[in-house]
Amino acid sequence: MKKFVFAQIICMVLSLSMVKADQPTSPGTKVFNGYDIYSTTIVKEGTIWKQWFAGWMTASDLPWDRIYYASSADSGSTWSIPQLAFTIEKVQVNDPTVLRLWDSLNSRFYYLMYYTYYPSGYGDPTNYIASSTSLDGITWAHNGLLIGADNGIDTDGAWSPTAYSADSTGRTVYLYFHNNHPDGRIFRTTLSNNGLSFDKTTTISVTSAGGLRANPDVSRSGDGKWWMFYNGSSVTSDNKGNFNTCKMYSDDGVNWQESGHNPIQQYDTMTTCTPFVLWTSDSTYQLWYGYGTPTFMDFSVYRQYFTLEAEPVLNVVASSEALKVMEAAKAIDKDPGTFWSSVGYVGSAAHIEWIYLNLGIVKNVTQVVLTPRVVSGSAMCFPVDFKFQNSPNGINWTDISGQTYANYKCDTLDQEFVLNSSVATQYIRLYATKLSADSYGNYYCQIAEMNIATNITSVEIESSGLPDELGLLQNFPNPFNASTTVTYAIPEESNVSLIVYDIFGRQVAGLVKEVQSKGTFKVVWNGINDKGKSLASGYYLYTLSVDGRNFTRKMLIVK
C-alpha cells in the first residue's frame, strides 16, 4: 500500500544551489538510492539530523515494506549507512512521521512514530494508522492500531499520516492523513493522551472532494504560518499518470488555501511523491521527495531548495470547479451567459460548496447580488441553503450575522441580498450547504455572476507623481475621529504593505498588501479593524514595509 516516494543511503555531498522559483525544470540532488524506498521524515536535534524512511532497500526485502533509519552530523550532506528500524511480518509498514517528545515523568526524551499499517499478508484490505515508541529511534515498540476504516468521516480507511505537536510534551497532537479514495481528501484528527488516544469525533475534513490529494506533510514556518505539501494527480494534458507536488497554506491549521503556484513540481515522464519539508527561514525551505518512474520500482529520495514565491492575488476563488469553462472567473466576467459550476454530486443535495470574492482592499459591503444560471428561461442549480461570510484574509471566515436564506427559492432575475448592516471586509463568500439538481438529477452549485455593493470605501488608494525617494509621511489629521489619510511614496515597483498595530505590537488593520508601481499613494482609513469593528481611542502605530525596509509612525484616535 504505497504512497508515492522513496529513499536509500549513500554518503555524498548535496548541491547547495537554490531553486528560486516554483515548478523547477529538473529534479534536485539525489540523496538516497534504493530498490523502492520512500516517505522520508527528519528530526533535527541540534547538529544531528535523524531520518526514517520506508520501502525496500533491496529486492530481497520484498514483499513487506519496512522502515529504516539513518543519521547525519553535517546538516544532511552525508548520511550513515541505513539500518532496519521497524518491521512487522506480513504487514506493509510505511509512510512514517516522527515526533521527538519530552517524558516529564521519567525526565527524558523519546520518539513517537505514526505510520500506515496495511496487513495485506493477512488478506485485510484496510489501511490503518498505527503508532510505535522508541528511546533511541532505532528500537521501536509497536503500540497497536490507532485509526482504521472508521476514521470519523468515512469508511475509506486512513493512511499516510503527518503529525504536529503544539508543545514538546505531545499533550495534544494534530494528525493529518488522507483516505483511500480516488477522489481523496485530507483529514485532521486531534489525539489526546500524549498522542496515543484517538477519538473519531475530533476528525474534520480540511480539504473538499474534487481532485486527488494525498500524502500530506504539515509544518509551520518561523512566522507561524501553517503549510501543507501534498501529492496531486497528473495535470499533464495527456494524463500520463505521473503525480505532482502541491502546497496549501493556513493561519490556523484548519482553514486551508491552495497556492496559486500549484503544482510546484511536475515532470512529464517521472513521478514526484511523498513530500517532506524542512524550513531554513520564513521564506526558504528544503523539499525532500521521491523521484522515479510511475512503476514505483526505481525510486530514490531527492532534496531540492526552494524560495517561497509571493502568492498571486486571486479576485475570485471557488471550492471546486466542474470544468475549465466553468471556472470561478466566469462568475465575475460580467457575462451572465457564462457561469461558475461546482463539481457534480449524485444521490444527495447535502454538500458544501463556496465561492468568494477578494475585493482588493477593505470595503463596507452593504449588498450581495447573485445572478443565477438561466437555461430555457429557468434558473438552474442555484443553491438551496446558503449564507454569506466575511474574512480579513481569505482563510478564516465568520458568518455575517442576522442573515438566513434556508430553502430560498429564486427565479431568473438577479437575486439581491441587502445586509442588515454594512460589513467592513476585503473578502466575502457565498457558502452553500445544500445544492440543487440539474435535469439529470445531479447536484451542483452554479452562479452566473456575483457582485457586491458598497457605501463609503474604508480604504482608498490614489497614485500620483513620480517620486525618487522612499518615504512615509505623518497621517493627517492627527489626532483623528472619523478618518485619516496616510501618504507614502515608493521610487520603484515594490512589494508594499501598510499595517496598523496597537501599542502591544498586535496587528489591528491591514490596509495595503500588494505589488505597487512607482508613485505617491494616499490611503484613507476610517479606524475600522480587520474584524470590521471601530477601534477604541488611543495611540496606534502604522508601519510601511517596502521590499523588506520598514518605516513606522504613531497616530492617535480620539472618540
Using an 8 Å Cβ cutoff, are 500 and 542 in contact? Answer: yes
Compute the distance between CA of residue 30 and CA of residue 21 in angstroms, rounded to an integer.
Answer: 19
pLDDT score at 295: 67
pLDDT score at 198: 96
Compute the distance between CA of residue 473 and CA of residue 544 in angstroms, rounded to an integer.
Answer: 10
Compute the distance between CA of residue 376 and CA of residue 66 in angstroms, rounded to an integer.
Answer: 60
Compute the distance between CA of residue 84 and CA of residue 94 in angstroms, rounded to an integer.
Answer: 13
- For 29, the enclosing helix (H) or strand (E) is strand 29-32
pLDDT for 254 beyond 50 = yes
Q: Cell 480507511: give the residue.
A: 157
pLDDT for 41 beyond 60 = yes
Query: Confidence class of residue 124 from pLDDT cuts 50, 70 and 90?
Result: very high
The three grid cell numbers given for residue 298, joined into one nine-digit string: 526505481
Using an 8 Å Cβ cutoff, are 264 and 22 in contact? Answer: yes
pLDDT score at 529: 83
Region 487-510: mean pLDDT is 86
Helix, strand, coil tally for the chain in percent (to 5): 5, 50, 45
Cβ-Cβ contacts under 8 Å for 540 (sequence gap 6 or more): 500, 501, 502, 503, 508, 554, 555, 556, 557
- For 404, the enclosing helix (H) or strand (E) is none
> Which amino acid would we find at residue 100?
R
Compute the distance between CA of residue 117 and CA of residue 129 in angstroms, rounded to an integer.
Answer: 6
pLDDT score at 533: 76
pLDDT score at 241: 53
What is the chain's length? Answer: 559
The three grid cell numbers given for residue 49, joined into one nine-digit string: 539530523
Using an 8 Å Cβ cutoff, are 129 and 135 in contact? Answer: no
pLDDT for 237 beyond 70 = no
How many angstroms separate the Cα of 150 from the Cα of each of 172, 205, 409? 21, 14, 37
What is the average pLDDT score of the chain? 85
Region 311-322: mean pLDDT is 84
DSSP 476: B
- All structural domains of the chain, each given as residue ranges with its CATH number in brackets, are 29-307 (2.115.10.20), 316-454 (2.60.120.260), 461-557 (2.60.40.4070)
Q: For residue range 511-529, what is the model confidence (pLDDT) as tens digits?
A: 888 788 888 888 888 888 8
Q: Cell 441553503: give the residue.
A: 385
DSSP 397: -
Q: Output the pTM of the full model.
A: 0.66
Neighbours of 532 (CB within 10 A): 19
Compute the distance between CA of residue 297 and CA of residue 315 in angstroms, rounded to an integer.
Answer: 43
pLDDT score at 402: 73
Query: Confidence class of residue 9 from pLDDT cuts 50, 70 and 90?
Result: very low
Nearest 10 degrees: CA dihedral of 111, 114, 119, 120?
Answer: -120
Count the alpha carbons within 13 Å of 519 in the hemisphere toward its beta carbon. Answer: 11
Instruction: Tell me what percent of the residues of the chain surpass a pLDDT of 90.
Output: 45
Phi and psi at residue 120, to the nearest 5°: -65, -30
Using an 8 Å Cβ cutoff, are 403 and 388 in contact? Answer: yes
pLDDT score at 450: 93
Using an 8 Å Cβ cutoff, are 7 and 32 in contact? Answer: yes
| 366 exposure class (CB count in 10 Å sphere: 0-12, 13-18, 19+) | middle
Q: For residue range 355-397, what is the model confidence (pLDDT) as tens digits?
A: 999 987 777 788 898 999 999 888 999 999 999 999 988 888 9
3-state secondary structure 119-142: CHHHCCCCCEEEEEEECCCCCCEE
Q: Quick check: helix, strand or coil at residue 350?
A: coil
